[in-house]
């Protein structure tokens, strides 16, 4: 597997077409049907937060012996490098968006509305890195807890969320319109508490070691 660089950063207007592509690909059965206009409105809303993962430099996916590409960018006072792949045919601009996460802040709750990674970039730790970033962002926005819904059948996602302190708080029967599947409701404890922050930092450092992301403290 070739080693490339990706960064995590806030969404920009020019990212929206690619985010919609990922939205469509990841949620094909119950796509959010969010338009470019709605995304543009949301990213200007101070109570909404969207974060993207993106790579640079055109590169063929799943090729061995490719050149390592290194680059630096400051995002949320951190830099991130990991393993990733590229799809040359889908290159839209200088930065290729490979995943995104979005949340809304409601009082002291940050609700994750979507987290998705392109099919060819899954199982590389990108979704986990996005989850870390949205929790960090929620704390910066003075949220006390983070909540989400997940399909009852999506055991892998549920395991990841539990790893980061989410607990099952309820169930919404027949929540998903495509097949009537139930949604599992999950929530964290107080994300600004010392125990939660200590565990988050531990998990963040473990993620960095596993995916060869340097641990940078600034």
Report the percent of the chain where pLDDT is more than 70.
Answer: 76
* Residue 216 located in a structural domain: no
CB neighbour class for 3 (10 Å; exposed up to 12, middle 13-18, buried from 19)? middle
Domain count, the chain: 1
Report the percent of the chain where pLDDT is more than 90.
Answer: 59
For residue 112, what is the domain's CATH number?
3.40.630.30
Domain carrying residue 197? 3-210
Q: In this predicted model, what pLDDT tens digit does every residue of 158-192 receive, in sequence order?
A: 999 999 999 999 999 999 887 889 999 999 999 99
* Residue 215 located in a structural domain: no
Q: Report the pLDDT averaged over residues 94-113.
A: 93
pLDDT of amino acid 29: 65
* Confidence check: pLDDT of 120 > 60: yes
Please say if 30 is a catalytic residue: no
Q: Where are the alpha helices (DSSP H) in 5-125?
A: 16-26, 36-43
* Residue 153 located in a structural domain: yes
Higher pLDDT, 7 or 59: 7
CB neighbour class for 48 (10 Å; exposed up to 12, middle 13-18, buried from 19)? middle
Report the distance separating Cα 157 and Cα 90, nearest Å.
26
149, 164, 176, 181: which is the annotated catalytic residue? Answer: 149
* Residue 164 located in a structural domain: yes
Indicate the average pLDDT of the chain. 81
pLDDT of amino acid 6: 87
Contact 154, 146 (CB under 8 A): no
* Residue 217 located in a structural domain: no
39, 80, 96, 161: which is the annotated catalytic residue? Answer: 161
Q: In this predicted model, what pLDDT tens digit does every residue of 130-162 receive, in sequence order?
A: 999 999 999 999 999 999 999 999 999 999 999
* Residue 104 located in a structural domain: yes
Contact 96, 120 (CB under 8 A): no
Contact 120, 89 (CB under 8 A): no
Window from 26-40, 61-75, 94-108 with minimum mean pLDDT: 61-75
* Residue 115 located in a structural domain: yes
* Residue 218 located in a structural domain: no
Tell me the pLDDT band of 113, cut-offs 50, 70 and 90. very high
Tell me the pLDDT band of 32, cut-offs 50, 70 and 90. low
> In the 8-state DSSP scheme, what is residue 5?
-
Angle at 8 between CA 41 and CA 74, to 5 degrees: 105
pLDDT of amino acid 102: 95
Q: In this predicted model, what pLDDT tens digit does every residue of 76-92 receive, in sequence order?
A: 333 333 333 334 344 44
pLDDT of amino acid 179: 84
Beta 183-187 vs 167-172: how paired, if at all? antiparallel
């Amino acid at each position: 597997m070739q080693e490339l660089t990706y960064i995590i950063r806030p969404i920009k207007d020019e990212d929206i077409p690619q985010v919609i592509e990922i939205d469509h690909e990841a949620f094909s059965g119950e796509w959010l049907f969010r338009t470019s206009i709605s995304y543009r409105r949301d990213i200007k809303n101070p109570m909404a937060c969207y974060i993207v993962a993106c790579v640079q430099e055109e590169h063929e996916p799943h090729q061995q012996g490719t050149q390592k590409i290194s680059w630096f960018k400051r995002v949320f006072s951190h830099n991130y490098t990991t393993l990733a792949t590229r799809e040359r045919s889908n290159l839209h601009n200088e930065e290729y968006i490979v995943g995104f996460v979005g949340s809304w802040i409601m009082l002291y709750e940050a609700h994750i509305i979507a987290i998705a990674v392109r099919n060819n970039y899954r199982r590389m730790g990108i979704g986990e890195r996005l989850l870390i970033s949205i929790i960090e962002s929620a704390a910066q926005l003075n949220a006390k807890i983070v909540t989400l819904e997940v399909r009852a059948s999506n055991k892998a996602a549920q395991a990841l969320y539990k790893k980061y302190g989410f607990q099952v708080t309820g169930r919404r029967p027949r929540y998903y319109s495509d097949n009537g599947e139930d949604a599992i409701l999950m929530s964290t404890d107080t994300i600004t508490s010392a125990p939660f922050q200590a565990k988050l930092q531990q998990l963040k450092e473990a993620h960095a070691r596993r995916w060869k992301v340097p641990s940078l403290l600034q």
